[in-house]
Chains A and B, each alone.
Chain A
Amino acid sequence: MVVLKKNDLKVWQRRDRKAQFKIWASWLFGAAIFMWSWQQISEVTTWFFVWDAPRIAADIGSRAMPPRWEYLSTLWRPLWDTLNIATLGTVLALLMAVPIAFMAARNTTPSTLFVRPFALLVIVSTRSINSLIWALLLVAIIGPGVFAGLIAIGIRSIGFCAKLLYEAIEEIDYTQVEAITATGASRWQVMTYGIVPQIMPAFAGIAIFRWDINLRESTVLGLVGAGGIGLQLQGSLNTLAWSQVSLILVVILAAVVVSEAVSAKARGAII
Protein backbone atom coordinates (compact mmCIF):
# COMPACT_ATOMS: atom_id res chain seq x y z
CA MET A 1 0.00 0.00 0.00
CA VAL A 2 1.32 3.42 -0.90
CA VAL A 3 0.71 6.15 1.65
CA LEU A 4 1.62 9.75 1.16
CA LYS A 5 2.29 11.89 4.22
CA LYS A 6 0.97 15.41 3.96
CA ASN A 7 1.30 17.56 7.14
CA ASP A 8 1.05 14.46 9.35
CA LEU A 9 -2.04 13.38 7.42
CA LYS A 10 -1.84 9.97 5.79
CA VAL A 11 -3.36 9.90 2.34
CA TRP A 12 -3.82 6.64 0.46
CA GLN A 13 -2.41 6.58 -3.06
CA ARG A 14 -3.03 4.02 -5.74
CA ARG A 15 0.51 3.95 -7.05
CA ASP A 16 3.91 5.20 -5.91
CA ARG A 17 5.60 8.05 -7.69
CA LYS A 18 7.66 5.84 -9.99
CA ALA A 19 4.70 3.83 -11.26
CA GLN A 20 2.67 6.99 -11.70
CA PHE A 21 5.49 8.57 -13.66
CA LYS A 22 5.77 5.52 -15.90
CA ILE A 23 2.09 5.68 -16.70
CA TRP A 24 2.23 9.39 -17.48
CA ALA A 25 5.27 8.87 -19.68
CA SER A 26 3.55 6.16 -21.69
CA TRP A 27 0.47 8.34 -22.13
CA LEU A 28 2.69 11.17 -23.32
CA PHE A 29 4.45 8.84 -25.73
CA GLY A 30 1.15 7.52 -27.08
CA ALA A 31 -0.26 11.01 -27.48
CA ALA A 32 2.89 12.13 -29.30
CA ILE A 33 2.62 9.20 -31.72
CA PHE A 34 -1.03 9.95 -32.33
CA MET A 35 -0.38 13.65 -32.93
CA TRP A 36 2.41 12.82 -35.34
CA SER A 37 0.16 10.35 -37.20
CA TRP A 38 -2.63 12.88 -37.35
CA GLN A 39 -0.23 15.48 -38.71
CA GLN A 40 0.84 13.08 -41.45
CA ILE A 41 -2.76 12.43 -42.45
CA SER A 42 -3.70 16.08 -42.23
CA GLU A 43 -0.80 17.14 -44.44
CA VAL A 44 -1.91 15.12 -47.45
CA THR A 45 -5.61 15.85 -46.99
CA THR A 46 -7.29 18.42 -49.16
CA TRP A 47 -9.23 20.17 -46.42
CA PHE A 48 -11.41 22.02 -48.89
CA PHE A 49 -13.01 18.69 -49.83
CA VAL A 50 -13.50 17.83 -46.18
CA TRP A 51 -15.28 21.11 -45.38
CA ASP A 52 -17.34 20.49 -48.48
CA ALA A 53 -18.14 16.93 -47.36
CA PRO A 54 -21.57 17.53 -45.77
CA ARG A 55 -22.84 19.10 -48.98
CA ILE A 56 -21.40 16.26 -51.08
CA ALA A 57 -22.82 13.65 -48.73
CA ALA A 58 -26.25 15.28 -48.91
CA ASP A 59 -25.97 15.42 -52.68
CA ILE A 60 -25.04 11.75 -52.97
CA GLY A 61 -27.77 10.88 -50.51
CA SER A 62 -30.40 12.70 -52.52
CA ARG A 63 -29.25 10.94 -55.70
CA ALA A 64 -29.18 7.53 -54.00
CA MET A 65 -32.72 7.80 -52.70
CA PRO A 66 -34.95 6.09 -53.61
CA PRO A 67 -33.06 2.93 -54.71
CA ARG A 68 -33.79 1.88 -58.28
CA TRP A 69 -35.82 -1.25 -57.54
CA GLU A 70 -36.24 -2.35 -61.16
CA TYR A 71 -32.45 -2.91 -61.27
CA LEU A 72 -33.02 -5.80 -58.85
CA SER A 73 -33.88 -8.20 -61.69
CA THR A 74 -30.32 -8.00 -63.06
CA LEU A 75 -28.84 -8.65 -59.62
CA TRP A 76 -30.03 -12.24 -59.09
CA ARG A 77 -27.33 -13.77 -61.27
CA PRO A 78 -24.43 -11.87 -59.58
CA LEU A 79 -25.92 -12.76 -56.21
CA TRP A 80 -25.92 -16.45 -57.17
CA ASP A 81 -22.29 -16.06 -58.30
CA THR A 82 -21.43 -14.46 -54.96
CA LEU A 83 -23.03 -17.36 -53.10
CA ASN A 84 -21.07 -19.82 -55.25
CA ILE A 85 -17.80 -18.00 -54.65
CA ALA A 86 -18.36 -18.10 -50.89
CA THR A 87 -19.55 -21.72 -50.72
CA LEU A 88 -17.21 -23.37 -53.19
CA GLY A 89 -14.35 -21.23 -51.88
CA THR A 90 -15.03 -22.50 -48.37
CA VAL A 91 -15.15 -26.11 -49.63
CA LEU A 92 -11.86 -25.62 -51.46
CA ALA A 93 -10.29 -24.06 -48.38
CA LEU A 94 -11.42 -26.91 -46.14
CA LEU A 95 -10.05 -29.51 -48.56
CA MET A 96 -6.65 -27.85 -48.36
CA ALA A 97 -6.83 -26.88 -44.69
CA VAL A 98 -7.36 -30.42 -43.35
CA PRO A 99 -3.99 -31.88 -44.39
CA ILE A 100 -2.23 -28.66 -43.38
CA ALA A 101 -3.90 -28.71 -39.97
CA PHE A 102 -2.78 -32.30 -39.42
CA MET A 103 0.73 -31.32 -40.45
CA ALA A 104 0.72 -28.33 -38.11
CA ALA A 105 -0.70 -29.97 -35.00
CA ARG A 106 2.06 -31.03 -32.61
CA ASN A 107 0.54 -34.43 -31.88
CA THR A 108 -0.14 -35.53 -35.47
CA THR A 109 2.61 -33.89 -37.51
CA PRO A 110 4.90 -36.32 -39.33
CA SER A 111 7.94 -34.21 -38.49
CA THR A 112 8.22 -31.33 -36.03
CA LEU A 113 11.43 -30.13 -37.57
CA PHE A 114 10.59 -29.98 -41.28
CA VAL A 115 6.87 -30.35 -41.95
CA ARG A 116 5.45 -28.29 -39.06
CA PRO A 117 7.27 -25.02 -39.84
CA PHE A 118 6.19 -25.33 -43.47
CA ALA A 119 2.55 -25.80 -42.45
CA LEU A 120 2.77 -22.84 -40.05
CA LEU A 121 4.28 -20.71 -42.80
CA VAL A 122 1.38 -21.58 -45.12
CA ILE A 123 -1.07 -20.68 -42.35
CA VAL A 124 0.55 -17.32 -41.57
CA SER A 125 1.09 -16.21 -45.14
CA THR A 126 -2.40 -17.08 -46.38
CA ARG A 127 -3.99 -15.47 -43.33
CA SER A 128 -2.12 -12.19 -43.40
CA ILE A 129 -3.05 -11.29 -46.98
CA ASN A 130 -6.59 -10.08 -47.49
CA SER A 131 -8.85 -11.89 -49.97
CA LEU A 132 -9.10 -8.72 -52.05
CA ILE A 133 -5.34 -8.80 -52.62
CA TRP A 134 -5.46 -12.50 -53.45
CA ALA A 135 -8.25 -11.70 -55.92
CA LEU A 136 -6.21 -8.88 -57.47
CA LEU A 137 -3.32 -11.29 -57.90
CA LEU A 138 -5.44 -14.08 -59.36
CA VAL A 139 -7.25 -11.76 -61.73
CA ALA A 140 -3.84 -10.76 -63.06
CA ILE A 141 -2.86 -14.43 -63.39
CA ILE A 142 -5.94 -16.36 -64.56
CA GLY A 143 -8.10 -13.55 -65.85
CA PRO A 144 -11.22 -11.90 -64.43
CA GLY A 145 -14.28 -13.89 -63.46
CA VAL A 146 -15.93 -16.01 -60.80
CA PHE A 147 -13.16 -18.61 -60.94
CA ALA A 148 -10.51 -16.12 -59.76
CA GLY A 149 -12.75 -15.03 -56.87
CA LEU A 150 -13.39 -18.62 -55.87
CA ILE A 151 -9.69 -19.45 -55.75
CA ALA A 152 -8.94 -16.21 -53.90
CA ILE A 153 -11.51 -16.96 -51.19
CA GLY A 154 -10.23 -20.52 -51.02
CA ILE A 155 -6.59 -19.56 -50.53
CA ARG A 156 -7.37 -16.80 -48.07
CA SER A 157 -9.45 -19.14 -45.89
CA ILE A 158 -6.83 -21.91 -45.65
CA GLY A 159 -4.89 -20.20 -42.88
CA PHE A 160 -7.94 -19.36 -40.81
CA CYS A 161 -9.47 -22.85 -41.04
CA ALA A 162 -6.18 -24.68 -40.59
CA LYS A 163 -5.24 -22.60 -37.54
CA LEU A 164 -8.51 -23.22 -35.70
CA LEU A 165 -8.51 -26.87 -36.78
CA TYR A 166 -4.99 -27.61 -35.61
CA GLU A 167 -5.72 -26.01 -32.27
CA ALA A 168 -8.73 -28.34 -31.98
CA ILE A 169 -6.53 -31.33 -32.90
CA GLU A 170 -3.99 -30.40 -30.24
CA GLU A 171 -6.72 -30.29 -27.60
CA ILE A 172 -8.15 -33.78 -28.20
CA ASP A 173 -8.60 -36.31 -25.44
CA TYR A 174 -5.62 -38.62 -25.77
CA THR A 175 -7.07 -41.58 -23.88
CA GLN A 176 -9.45 -42.26 -26.77
CA VAL A 177 -6.57 -42.31 -29.22
CA GLU A 178 -4.68 -44.67 -26.91
CA ALA A 179 -7.69 -46.98 -26.71
CA ILE A 180 -7.86 -47.21 -30.50
CA THR A 181 -4.10 -47.75 -30.72
CA ALA A 182 -4.37 -50.54 -28.15
CA THR A 183 -6.67 -52.50 -30.49
CA GLY A 184 -3.81 -52.70 -32.96
CA ALA A 185 -5.17 -50.11 -35.36
CA SER A 186 -2.94 -48.70 -38.08
CA ARG A 187 -1.94 -45.05 -38.23
CA TRP A 188 -4.81 -44.18 -40.58
CA GLN A 189 -7.32 -46.14 -38.53
CA VAL A 190 -6.24 -44.27 -35.40
CA MET A 191 -6.83 -41.07 -37.28
CA THR A 192 -10.30 -41.93 -38.57
CA TYR A 193 -11.59 -43.59 -35.38
CA GLY A 194 -9.60 -41.83 -32.65
CA ILE A 195 -9.02 -38.26 -33.82
CA VAL A 196 -11.56 -37.38 -36.50
CA PRO A 197 -14.72 -38.03 -34.43
CA GLN A 198 -13.35 -35.75 -31.72
CA ILE A 199 -12.68 -32.81 -34.02
CA MET A 200 -15.81 -33.24 -36.16
CA PRO A 201 -17.95 -30.72 -34.18
CA ALA A 202 -15.12 -28.16 -34.24
CA PHE A 203 -14.68 -28.77 -37.96
CA ALA A 204 -18.35 -28.17 -38.72
CA GLY A 205 -18.34 -25.05 -36.56
CA ILE A 206 -15.27 -23.66 -38.34
CA ALA A 207 -16.77 -24.40 -41.75
CA ILE A 208 -19.97 -22.51 -40.98
CA PHE A 209 -18.12 -19.62 -39.32
CA ARG A 210 -15.81 -19.22 -42.29
CA TRP A 211 -18.65 -19.53 -44.78
CA ASP A 212 -20.34 -16.59 -43.08
CA ILE A 213 -17.17 -14.48 -43.29
CA ASN A 214 -16.57 -15.55 -46.88
CA LEU A 215 -20.00 -14.45 -47.99
CA ARG A 216 -19.27 -10.99 -46.64
CA GLU A 217 -15.89 -10.88 -48.33
CA SER A 218 -17.10 -12.21 -51.66
CA THR A 219 -19.59 -9.36 -52.01
CA VAL A 220 -16.72 -6.93 -52.62
CA LEU A 221 -14.40 -9.17 -54.66
CA GLY A 222 -15.98 -7.86 -57.85
CA LEU A 223 -14.31 -4.49 -57.26
CA VAL A 224 -11.09 -5.97 -58.62
CA GLY A 225 -12.89 -7.99 -61.31
CA ALA A 226 -13.27 -11.30 -59.53
CA GLY A 227 -17.00 -11.81 -60.13
CA GLY A 228 -20.05 -11.58 -57.94
CA ILE A 229 -22.20 -8.64 -56.98
CA GLY A 230 -19.18 -6.39 -56.45
CA LEU A 231 -18.82 -6.23 -60.23
CA GLN A 232 -22.22 -4.51 -60.47
CA LEU A 233 -21.23 -2.26 -57.57
CA GLN A 234 -18.07 -1.21 -59.36
CA GLY A 235 -19.97 -0.59 -62.59
CA SER A 236 -22.59 1.52 -60.83
CA LEU A 237 -19.94 3.50 -58.97
CA ASN A 238 -18.02 4.19 -62.15
CA THR A 239 -21.13 5.51 -63.88
CA LEU A 240 -22.11 7.44 -60.72
CA ALA A 241 -25.46 5.64 -60.71
CA TRP A 242 -26.02 6.24 -57.01
CA SER A 243 -29.57 4.89 -56.98
CA GLN A 244 -28.20 1.54 -58.20
CA VAL A 245 -25.39 1.71 -55.63
CA SER A 246 -27.87 2.14 -52.81
CA LEU A 247 -29.92 -0.80 -54.08
CA ILE A 248 -26.81 -3.00 -54.26
CA LEU A 249 -25.83 -1.98 -50.73
CA VAL A 250 -29.31 -2.92 -49.51
CA VAL A 251 -29.03 -6.30 -51.27
CA ILE A 252 -25.56 -6.91 -49.76
CA LEU A 253 -26.84 -6.01 -46.30
CA ALA A 254 -29.78 -8.38 -46.74
CA ALA A 255 -27.45 -11.16 -47.90
CA VAL A 256 -25.21 -10.63 -44.86
CA VAL A 257 -28.17 -10.69 -42.47
CA VAL A 258 -29.56 -13.85 -44.09
CA SER A 259 -26.17 -15.58 -43.99
CA GLU A 260 -25.78 -14.68 -40.33
CA ALA A 261 -29.23 -16.13 -39.55
CA VAL A 262 -28.48 -19.30 -41.54
CA SER A 263 -25.11 -19.83 -39.89
CA ALA A 264 -26.53 -19.19 -36.41
CA LYS A 265 -29.22 -21.77 -37.08
CA ALA A 266 -26.77 -24.32 -38.49
CA ARG A 267 -24.41 -23.81 -35.57
CA GLY A 268 -27.30 -24.28 -33.16
CA ALA A 269 -28.23 -27.55 -34.87
CA ILE A 270 -24.68 -28.92 -34.58
CA ILE A 271 -23.68 -27.86 -31.09
Chain B
Amino acid sequence: MSSNLELKLGQAWSKPPFIKSPVLRWTLVICVLLYLVAAFSSIEVNWSRVYDGLEHGWRFVLAFASPDLSSRATDIREGLIESAVITMASTAVGIALSVPIGLGAANNISILPVYLLCRGIITFSRALNEIVLAILLVAIFGFGPLAGFLTLSFATIGFLSKLLAEEIENIDKIQAEAVRSTGATWLQRFDYGIFPQVLPRLIGLSMYRLDINFRESAVLGLVGAGGIGATLNTAFDRYEFDTAAAILLVIIGTVMVLEYLSGIVRFKMR
Protein backbone atom coordinates (compact mmCIF):
# COMPACT_ATOMS: atom_id res chain seq x y z
CA MET B 1 0.00 0.00 0.00
CA SER B 2 2.65 2.49 1.03
CA SER B 3 4.89 1.64 -1.96
CA ASN B 4 1.89 2.25 -4.17
CA LEU B 5 1.50 5.65 -2.58
CA GLU B 6 5.22 6.37 -3.02
CA LEU B 7 4.92 5.68 -6.73
CA LYS B 8 2.03 8.04 -7.09
CA LEU B 9 3.67 10.88 -5.15
CA GLY B 10 4.44 13.85 -7.31
CA GLN B 11 2.11 12.74 -10.10
CA ALA B 12 -0.96 14.74 -10.88
CA TRP B 13 -4.22 12.93 -10.04
CA SER B 14 -6.43 12.12 -12.94
CA LYS B 15 -10.00 10.98 -12.96
CA PRO B 16 -10.43 7.21 -13.10
CA PRO B 17 -12.09 6.17 -16.36
CA PHE B 18 -15.72 5.02 -16.43
CA ILE B 19 -14.80 1.65 -17.96
CA LYS B 20 -11.75 0.19 -16.24
CA SER B 21 -10.32 -2.23 -18.79
CA PRO B 22 -8.50 -0.23 -21.50
CA VAL B 23 -9.03 -2.91 -24.17
CA LEU B 24 -12.79 -2.94 -23.66
CA ARG B 25 -12.84 0.85 -23.47
CA TRP B 26 -11.02 1.42 -26.75
CA THR B 27 -12.91 -1.32 -28.60
CA LEU B 28 -16.16 0.29 -27.49
CA VAL B 29 -15.00 3.74 -28.57
CA ILE B 30 -13.88 2.47 -31.98
CA CYS B 31 -17.11 0.49 -32.46
CA VAL B 32 -19.20 3.52 -31.59
CA LEU B 33 -17.21 5.72 -33.97
CA LEU B 34 -17.49 3.17 -36.79
CA TYR B 35 -21.23 2.87 -36.20
CA LEU B 36 -21.70 6.63 -36.18
CA VAL B 37 -19.80 7.02 -39.46
CA ALA B 38 -21.84 4.21 -41.06
CA ALA B 39 -25.09 5.59 -39.73
CA PHE B 40 -24.49 9.17 -40.77
CA SER B 41 -23.29 8.21 -44.23
CA SER B 42 -26.47 6.20 -44.83
CA ILE B 43 -28.80 9.05 -43.95
CA GLU B 44 -29.73 11.17 -46.90
CA VAL B 45 -30.71 14.66 -45.91
CA ASN B 46 -32.09 16.91 -48.56
CA TRP B 47 -30.76 20.12 -47.05
CA SER B 48 -32.44 22.42 -49.54
CA ARG B 49 -35.79 20.81 -48.68
CA VAL B 50 -34.99 21.22 -44.99
CA TYR B 51 -34.11 24.84 -45.59
CA ASP B 52 -37.37 25.41 -47.46
CA GLY B 53 -39.24 23.68 -44.68
CA LEU B 54 -37.82 25.92 -41.99
CA GLU B 55 -40.24 28.57 -43.14
CA HIS B 56 -43.12 26.13 -42.56
CA GLY B 57 -41.59 25.30 -39.22
CA TRP B 58 -41.37 28.93 -38.22
CA ARG B 59 -45.00 29.41 -39.23
CA PHE B 60 -45.89 26.47 -37.02
CA VAL B 61 -43.99 27.92 -34.07
CA LEU B 62 -45.77 31.23 -34.63
CA ALA B 63 -49.08 29.35 -34.77
CA PHE B 64 -48.55 28.31 -31.16
CA ALA B 65 -48.70 31.98 -30.26
CA SER B 66 -52.08 32.37 -31.95
CA PRO B 67 -53.79 28.95 -31.87
CA ASP B 68 -57.06 28.84 -33.77
CA LEU B 69 -59.64 27.00 -31.71
CA SER B 70 -62.70 28.62 -33.24
CA SER B 71 -62.75 27.82 -36.97
CA ARG B 72 -62.85 24.04 -36.43
CA ALA B 73 -64.35 24.15 -32.95
CA THR B 74 -66.98 21.45 -33.55
CA ASP B 75 -64.43 19.06 -35.09
CA ILE B 76 -62.07 19.56 -32.19
CA ARG B 77 -64.83 19.13 -29.62
CA GLU B 78 -66.15 15.98 -31.25
CA GLY B 79 -62.64 14.55 -31.59
CA LEU B 80 -61.86 15.31 -27.99
CA ILE B 81 -65.09 13.74 -26.76
CA GLU B 82 -64.43 10.66 -28.86
CA SER B 83 -60.91 10.42 -27.45
CA ALA B 84 -62.27 10.76 -23.92
CA VAL B 85 -64.92 8.12 -24.60
CA ILE B 86 -62.37 5.68 -26.01
CA THR B 87 -60.07 6.38 -23.06
CA MET B 88 -62.69 5.80 -20.37
CA ALA B 89 -64.30 2.76 -21.94
CA SER B 90 -61.01 1.04 -22.74
CA THR B 91 -59.55 1.77 -19.32
CA ALA B 92 -62.66 0.36 -17.61
CA VAL B 93 -62.68 -2.81 -19.70
CA GLY B 94 -58.91 -3.09 -19.41
CA ILE B 95 -59.05 -2.95 -15.61
CA ALA B 96 -61.93 -5.44 -15.48
CA LEU B 97 -59.92 -7.90 -17.58
CA SER B 98 -56.59 -7.16 -15.89
CA VAL B 99 -57.71 -8.12 -12.38
CA PRO B 100 -58.43 -11.80 -13.12
CA ILE B 101 -55.43 -12.07 -15.45
CA GLY B 102 -53.22 -10.38 -12.86
CA LEU B 103 -54.44 -12.84 -10.22
CA GLY B 104 -53.72 -15.74 -12.53
CA ALA B 105 -50.25 -14.42 -13.32
CA ALA B 106 -49.17 -14.10 -9.66
CA ASN B 107 -47.17 -17.22 -8.89
CA ASN B 108 -47.99 -17.30 -5.17
CA ILE B 109 -51.73 -17.80 -5.56
CA SER B 110 -52.08 -19.30 -9.03
CA ILE B 111 -51.66 -22.82 -10.35
CA LEU B 112 -49.11 -23.57 -13.07
CA PRO B 113 -51.35 -23.97 -16.19
CA VAL B 114 -53.29 -20.79 -15.36
CA TYR B 115 -50.04 -19.00 -14.55
CA LEU B 116 -48.51 -19.91 -17.92
CA LEU B 117 -51.68 -18.95 -19.80
CA CYS B 118 -51.93 -15.55 -18.10
CA ARG B 119 -48.21 -14.82 -18.52
CA GLY B 120 -48.57 -15.74 -22.18
CA ILE B 121 -51.42 -13.26 -22.64
CA ILE B 122 -49.38 -10.54 -20.91
CA THR B 123 -46.27 -11.17 -23.01
CA PHE B 124 -48.29 -11.18 -26.22
CA SER B 125 -50.03 -7.93 -25.32
CA ARG B 126 -46.76 -6.22 -24.44
CA ALA B 127 -44.94 -7.38 -27.57
CA LEU B 128 -47.58 -6.06 -29.98
CA ASN B 129 -47.14 -2.43 -30.86
CA GLU B 130 -50.34 -0.47 -30.26
CA ILE B 131 -50.29 1.22 -33.64
CA VAL B 132 -49.75 -2.05 -35.48
CA LEU B 133 -52.58 -3.65 -33.53
CA ALA B 134 -54.81 -0.67 -34.30
CA ILE B 135 -54.07 -1.02 -38.03
CA LEU B 136 -55.04 -4.69 -37.97
CA LEU B 137 -58.20 -4.03 -35.97
CA VAL B 138 -59.20 -1.19 -38.28
CA ALA B 139 -58.78 -3.59 -41.20
CA ILE B 140 -60.99 -6.15 -39.44
CA PHE B 141 -63.65 -4.02 -37.71
CA GLY B 142 -63.72 -1.04 -40.02
CA PHE B 143 -62.90 2.60 -39.31
CA GLY B 144 -64.11 4.18 -36.09
CA PRO B 145 -63.65 4.28 -32.34
CA LEU B 146 -64.45 0.58 -31.81
CA ALA B 147 -61.04 -0.41 -33.19
CA GLY B 148 -59.34 2.15 -30.95
CA PHE B 149 -61.30 0.95 -27.95
CA LEU B 150 -60.32 -2.68 -28.55
CA THR B 151 -56.66 -1.75 -29.12
CA LEU B 152 -56.35 0.23 -25.91
CA SER B 153 -58.25 -2.37 -23.86
CA PHE B 154 -55.84 -5.02 -25.04
CA ALA B 155 -52.80 -2.82 -24.42
CA THR B 156 -54.07 -2.02 -20.91
CA ILE B 157 -54.14 -5.72 -20.03
CA GLY B 158 -50.44 -6.15 -20.72
CA PHE B 159 -49.47 -3.14 -18.65
CA LEU B 160 -51.85 -3.42 -15.73
CA SER B 161 -51.94 -7.16 -15.11
CA LYS B 162 -48.16 -7.45 -15.21
CA LEU B 163 -47.72 -4.78 -12.54
CA LEU B 164 -50.69 -6.10 -10.55
CA ALA B 165 -49.25 -9.62 -10.60
CA GLU B 166 -45.92 -8.30 -9.32
CA GLU B 167 -47.76 -6.45 -6.57
CA ILE B 168 -49.69 -9.57 -5.53
CA GLU B 169 -46.47 -11.57 -5.47
CA ASN B 170 -45.06 -9.06 -2.97
CA ILE B 171 -47.99 -9.00 -0.53
CA ASP B 172 -47.70 -9.70 3.19
CA LYS B 173 -48.54 -13.41 3.47
CA ILE B 174 -49.39 -13.24 7.18
CA GLN B 175 -52.55 -11.22 6.57
CA ALA B 176 -53.77 -13.60 3.91
CA GLU B 177 -53.03 -16.52 6.21
CA ALA B 178 -54.90 -14.92 9.11
CA VAL B 179 -57.98 -14.56 6.95
CA ARG B 180 -57.57 -18.13 5.76
CA SER B 181 -57.32 -19.46 9.32
CA THR B 182 -60.81 -18.12 10.08
CA GLY B 183 -62.15 -20.62 7.58
CA ALA B 184 -62.76 -18.14 4.79
CA THR B 185 -63.64 -19.37 1.34
CA TRP B 186 -61.37 -18.68 -1.63
CA LEU B 187 -63.35 -15.59 -2.62
CA GLN B 188 -63.39 -14.24 0.94
CA ARG B 189 -59.67 -14.85 1.24
CA PHE B 190 -59.15 -12.78 -1.88
CA ASP B 191 -61.61 -10.09 -0.81
CA TYR B 192 -60.31 -9.62 2.75
CA GLY B 193 -56.74 -10.91 2.67
CA ILE B 194 -55.26 -9.96 -0.69
CA PHE B 195 -57.35 -7.28 -2.31
CA PRO B 196 -57.06 -4.61 0.44
CA GLN B 197 -53.29 -4.92 0.21
CA VAL B 198 -53.05 -4.25 -3.52
CA LEU B 199 -55.99 -1.85 -3.90
CA PRO B 200 -54.07 1.43 -3.42
CA ARG B 201 -51.48 0.39 -5.97
CA LEU B 202 -54.17 -0.83 -8.37
CA ILE B 203 -55.96 2.50 -8.23
CA GLY B 204 -52.70 4.39 -8.73
CA LEU B 205 -51.76 2.26 -11.72
CA SER B 206 -55.24 2.56 -13.20
CA MET B 207 -55.05 6.34 -13.02
CA TYR B 208 -51.64 6.22 -14.65
CA ARG B 209 -52.99 3.97 -17.37
CA LEU B 210 -55.94 6.32 -17.93
CA ASP B 211 -53.36 9.00 -18.56
CA ILE B 212 -51.42 6.80 -21.01
CA ASN B 213 -54.59 5.70 -22.79
CA PHE B 214 -55.60 9.29 -23.43
CA ARG B 215 -52.21 10.04 -24.93
CA GLU B 216 -52.38 6.94 -27.08
CA SER B 217 -55.94 7.64 -28.19
CA ALA B 218 -54.66 10.91 -29.60
CA VAL B 219 -52.45 8.91 -31.96
CA LEU B 220 -54.81 6.11 -32.93
CA GLY B 221 -56.77 8.52 -35.10
CA LEU B 222 -53.81 8.66 -37.49
CA VAL B 223 -54.53 5.09 -38.56
CA GLY B 224 -58.30 5.54 -38.60
CA ALA B 225 -59.17 4.29 -35.15
CA GLY B 226 -61.09 7.38 -34.04
CA GLY B 227 -60.36 10.15 -31.60
CA ILE B 228 -58.71 13.54 -31.83
CA GLY B 229 -55.81 12.14 -33.86
CA ALA B 230 -58.04 12.10 -36.94
CA THR B 231 -58.81 15.80 -36.50
CA LEU B 232 -55.11 16.52 -36.05
CA ASN B 233 -54.20 14.54 -39.13
CA THR B 234 -56.71 16.49 -41.22
CA ALA B 235 -55.35 19.76 -39.90
CA PHE B 236 -51.80 18.78 -40.87
CA ASP B 237 -52.89 17.58 -44.28
CA ARG B 238 -54.49 20.94 -44.96
CA TYR B 239 -51.41 22.78 -43.62
CA GLU B 240 -53.73 24.49 -41.10
CA PHE B 241 -50.96 24.97 -38.60
CA ASP B 242 -52.92 27.23 -36.30
CA THR B 243 -55.65 24.61 -35.88
CA ALA B 244 -53.03 21.89 -35.43
CA ALA B 245 -51.31 24.03 -32.79
CA ALA B 246 -54.62 24.48 -31.00
CA ILE B 247 -55.26 20.71 -30.98
CA LEU B 248 -51.75 20.01 -29.70
CA LEU B 249 -52.20 22.59 -26.94
CA VAL B 250 -55.53 20.97 -26.02
CA ILE B 251 -53.84 17.55 -25.84
CA ILE B 252 -50.95 18.89 -23.75
CA GLY B 253 -53.39 20.68 -21.44
CA THR B 254 -55.56 17.60 -20.96
CA VAL B 255 -52.54 15.40 -20.29
CA MET B 256 -51.26 17.90 -17.71
CA VAL B 257 -54.64 18.04 -15.95
CA LEU B 258 -54.90 14.24 -15.96
CA GLU B 259 -51.37 13.90 -14.63
CA TYR B 260 -52.15 16.37 -11.87
CA LEU B 261 -55.40 14.59 -10.94
CA SER B 262 -53.77 11.17 -10.95
CA GLY B 263 -51.01 12.58 -8.76
CA ILE B 264 -53.62 13.76 -6.24
CA VAL B 265 -55.47 10.43 -6.30
CA ARG B 266 -52.27 8.44 -5.89
CA PHE B 267 -51.16 10.68 -3.02
CA LYS B 268 -54.52 10.26 -1.24
CA MET B 269 -54.53 6.50 -1.65
CA ARG B 270 -51.14 6.11 -0.03
Would A142 and B131 be within 8 Å (CB), given that A40-B81, A84-B43 are in contact?
no
Interface of A is mostly: helix
Count of chain A residues near B, Cβ 8 A = 55
Q: Is A194 an interface residue (CB 8 A)?
A: no
Would A45 and B145 be within 8 Å (CB), given that A129-B248, A142-B57 are in contact?
yes
Min C-beta distance of B231 to chain A, whole Å: 12
- For the complex, give the distance between the alpha carbons of A223 and B129 in Å: 13
State whether B145 touches A41 (Cβ < 8 A): yes
The residue of chain B having its C-beta at the shortest distance from the C-beta of A56 within the complex is B140
- For the complex, give the distance between the alpha carbons of A216 and B129 in Å: 7
Across the interface, which residues of B come within 8 angstroms of A193, CB to CB? Answer: 15
Question: Which B positions have Cβ atoms within 8 angstroms of A?
Answer: 15, 18, 35, 39-40, 42-46, 49-50, 53-54, 56-57, 60, 81-82, 84-86, 88-89, 92, 127, 129, 131-132, 135-136, 139-142, 144-146, 149, 192, 215-216, 218-219, 222-223, 226, 229, 232-233, 236, 239, 244, 248, 251-252, 255-256, 259
Q: Is A169 an interface residue (CB 8 A)?
A: no
State whether B131 touches A220 (Cβ < 8 A): yes
Q: Is A143 an interface residue (CB 8 A)?
A: yes
Across the interface, which residues of B come within 8 angstroms of A136, CB to CB? Answer: 222, 232-233, 236
State whether A147 touches B146 (Cβ < 8 A): no
- For the complex, give the distance between the alpha carbons of A201 and B223 in Å: 39
**Which one of A37, A124, A128, A200 lies within 8 Å of B85 (CB-CB)?**
A37
State whether A145 touches B45 (Cβ < 8 A): yes
Across the interface, which residues of B come within 8 angstroms of A11, CB to CB? Answer: none
The residue of chain B having its C-beta at the shortest distance from the C-beta of A46 within the complex is B142
Q: List 23 A-B contacts (CB under 8 A).
A: A30-B92, A40-B82, A41-B145, A44-B82, A53-B140, A60-B139, A81-B43, A84-B42, A84-B43, A129-B251, A129-B252, A133-B232, A136-B222, A137-B244, A140-B239, A141-B53, A142-B53, A142-B57, A143-B46, A143-B50, A143-B53, A147-B43, A220-B132
Interface of B is mostly: helix
Which of A95-103, A111-119, A250-258 lines the interface with chain B? A250-258
Q: Is A21 an interface residue (CB 8 A)?
A: no
